[in-house]
């Protein structure tokens, strides 16, 4: 720890956001950069705790060696900081942008102060590396003669491929979309993650020897049996893509769409693809209602605003979270204690934009959708009801409608951002006859091996819907399991017990 009193003398400072009215005119990232001198001061706030909760347990699933690279940034040793960061994280440029940073919520300083700006320091380290030319292709010195097929090119698939390639195996990544990146490319809007950064990393991986095949829908135009014949191992990283839906009267009306049918179209359009009017889902001039209060709902919100919606509301079934993690909120059971991740009220850049345009909060909580109504087969209204939440005799939360609280709102476009229940069971999962866990995810052992010899799984397809940092961790751990399966041992880092 270079400055023992840093946390006492220096306040937490994060990058500012571009002005709302300005950033709504484009699809570029919303944050400004923080000067190096300020970043170094932020690194000085790190206390190098005796037990660094930020990089284990409830903190970073990757086991990032956070105190060390915080100190290196403070000392202006950016190259060494990059080397330290790269030991555990394949893609800091992604996590530094879109990870919600459980490491910061587990920061010891956060017990009674504002935590260290770990996420922003991480992003600054890797961007320094690219700017200085330190990050270059590093193909393996020798090849093992083994071939591995990775199905899915999201963060889990890319991390798994990167690690297996590092071990010397010939890796081919199969992606059913027309571009590489999975949710990084098509699920996350450009104002959170510009696609040039995804392309930059993919080109680097290609230069290191990884082969990418797009428009390759394994189980359909690519036969699973062919992969089993041509490769020594298969890793399934297809994600949790079966969306949660609602079953209410009027759900079949036109204008009600799943979030992941909506978001990719705008990303494709921004990338230069020609999207027909019949195919495009556009919020321009429409009254928009978003169901679901998570990150995907916020992504839909920011997209609808940039498309020029007439009005927008976002509804959440659950009660409004506590404003912050206070002792009172913990005692009342409203939020988990440190160092666990707290479900607190957060305002994303999209919420900031919507609130400024509307002149007030556009979110509402404890709302249940009862029905939709429309004209000529097109949705026009949403009928909702307010809920009262309580706990039953076993302590489980229960909800009931509040009498006479029904309401009706104009709704020309409804976006369902309700999360995902499990991976698609059709395709490779069904064709291979894989064993599933009680939640419908792929069952694996401690080495990420499935019930079929030579087939592994990682990411949301195994774990269920989760964070990008978990996906990268899963990909890395699965790669170690595959490497040991192929070679009888593995040098791909230590086992991190995450089960």
Mean pLDDT of 332-339: 90
Measure Cα distances from 160 to 148, 156, 172, 179, 488 in Å.
10, 6, 11, 18, 18
pLDDT of residue 228 exceeding 70: yes
Residue environment code for 51-70, b if the CB has 16+ CB neighbours within 10 A, otherwise e? ebbbbbebbbbbbbbbbbbb
Instruction: Report, as an integer, the average pLDDT of 193-206.
Output: 98
Q: Are strands 147-151 and 170-174 parallel, antiparallel or unpaired?
A: parallel
> 462, 455, 453, 457: which is closest to 423 by C-alpha?
462
pLDDT digits (tens, 9 = 90+) for 22-73: 999 999 999 999 999 999 999 999 999 989 999 877 899 999 999 999 999 9
Q: Please report how many Cα atoms fall inside a 13 Å half-sphere around the Cα of residue 210, on the Cβ side.
A: 27
Q: Cα angle at 232 between 230 and 236, to 5 degrees?
A: 90
Strand boundaries in 206-359, DSSP class E: 211-213, 233-236, 242-243, 256-258, 287-291, 311-316
Model pLDDT, residue 496: 58
360 beta partners: none
CA distance 35 to 38: 5
The beta strand positions in 45-169, using DSSP E, are 147-151
pLDDT-derived band at 382, boundaries 50, 70, 90: very high
Which domains are assigned to the chain? 6-131 (1.10.1060.10), 147-241+421-487 (3.50.50.60), 245-418 (3.50.50.60)
The fraction of the chain above a pLDDT of 70, given in percent, is 98
For residue 497, the model assigns a pLDDT of: 53
The predicted structure's pLDDT at residue 334: 87
Q: Is 345 exposed, middle or buried (0-12, 13-18, 19+ CB in 10 A)?
A: middle
Report residue 289 as tokens.
Answer: 């209602």
Give pLDDT, residue 499: 39
Per-residue tokens: 260: 């992941």
The Cα 253–Cα 378 span in angstroms is 5
Please tell me the pTM assigned to this model. 0.96
When pLDDT is cut at 50, 70 and 90, the band that residue 498 belongs to is very low
Under 8 Å between Cβ of 124 and 194: no
Q: For residue 18, what are the CA distances in angstroms to 22, 24, 306? A: 7, 10, 14
209 pLDDT higher than 50:
yes
pLDDT tens, position by position, 61-104: 999 999 999 999 999 999 999 999 999 999 999 999 999 999 99
Whole-number pLDDT of residue 494: 62
| Mean pLDDT of the region 338-354 | 96
What is the distance between the alpha carbons of residues 54 and 58, in angstroms, rounded to a whole number?
Answer: 7
Token pair for 212: 């990418």
- For residue 226, give every residue at least 6 positions away whose Cβ sits within 8 Å of its Cβ, in sequence order, or none: none
pLDDT tens string 428-460: 999 999 999 999 999 999 999 999 999 999 999
Percent of the chain at pLDDT > 90 equals 93
Which of 263, 239, 259, 299 shows the shortest CA–CA distance to 186? Answer: 263
The answer on pLDDT for 113 being more than 70 is yes
Q: Can you give the pLDDT at residue 495?
A: 58
């Amino acid at each position: 720890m270079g400055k023992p009193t840093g946390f006492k003398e220096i306040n937490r400072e994060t990058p500012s956001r571009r002005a709302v009215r300005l950033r709504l005119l484009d699809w570029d990232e919303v944050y400004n950069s923080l000067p190096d001198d300020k970043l170094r001061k932020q690194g000085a706030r790190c206390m190098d705790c005796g037990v660094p909760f930020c990089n284990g347990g409830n903190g970073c699933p990757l086991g990032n060696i956070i105190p060390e690279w915080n100190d290196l940034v403070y000392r202006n040793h950016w190259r060494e900081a990059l080397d330290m960061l790269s030991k555990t994280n394949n893609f800091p440029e992604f996590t530094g942008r879109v990870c919600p940073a459980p490491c910061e919520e587990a920061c010891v300083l956060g017990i009674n102060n504002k935590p260290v700006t770990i996420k922003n320091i991480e992003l600054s380290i890797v961007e320094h590396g690219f700017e200085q030319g330190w990050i270059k292709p590093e193909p393996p010195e020798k090849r093992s003669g083994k071939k591995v097929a990775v199905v899915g090119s999201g963060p889990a698939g890319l991390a798994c491929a990167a690690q297996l390639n590092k071990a010397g195996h010939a890796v081919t990544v199969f992606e059913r979309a027309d571009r590489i990146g999975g949710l990084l490319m098509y699920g996350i809007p450009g104002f959170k993650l510009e696609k040039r950064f995804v392309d930059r990393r993919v080109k680097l991986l290609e230069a290191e020897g990884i082969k990418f095949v797009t428009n390759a829908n394994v189980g359909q135009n690519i036969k699973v049996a062919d992969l089993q014949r041509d490769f020594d191992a298969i890793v399934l990283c297809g994600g949790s893509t079966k969306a949660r839906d609602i079953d209410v009267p009027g759900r079949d009306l036109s204008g009600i769409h799943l979030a992941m049918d909506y978001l990719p179209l705008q990303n494709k359009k921004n990338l230069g693809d020609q999207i027909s009017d019949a195919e495009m889902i556009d919020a321009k001039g429409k009254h928009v209602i978003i169901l679901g209060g998570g990150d995907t709902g916020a992504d839909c919100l920011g997209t609808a605003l940039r498309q020029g919606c007439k009005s927008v509301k976002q509804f959440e079934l659950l009660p409004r979270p506590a404003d912050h993690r206070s002792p009172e909120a913990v005692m009342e059971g409203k939020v988990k204690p440190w160092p666990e991740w707290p479900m607190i009220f957060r305002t994303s850049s999209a919420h900031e934009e919507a609130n400024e345009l509307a002149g007030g909060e556009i979110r509402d909580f404890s709302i249940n959708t009862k029905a939709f109504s429309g004209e000529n087969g097109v949705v026009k209204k949403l009928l909702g009801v307010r809920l009262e939440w309580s706990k039953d005799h076993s302590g489980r939360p229960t909800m009931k409608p509040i009498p006479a609280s029904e309401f009706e709102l104009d709704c020309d476009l409804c976006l369902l951002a309700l999360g995902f229940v499990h991976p698609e069971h059709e395709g490779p999962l069904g064709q291979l006859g894989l064993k599933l866990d009680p939640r419908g995810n792929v069952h694996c052992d401690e080495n990420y091996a499935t019930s079929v010899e030579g087939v592994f799984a990682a990411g949301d397809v195994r774990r269920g819907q989760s964070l990008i940092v978990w996906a990268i961790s899963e990909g890395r751990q699965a790669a170690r399991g595959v490497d040991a399966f192929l070679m009888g041992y593995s040098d791909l880092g230590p086992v991190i017990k995450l089960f």
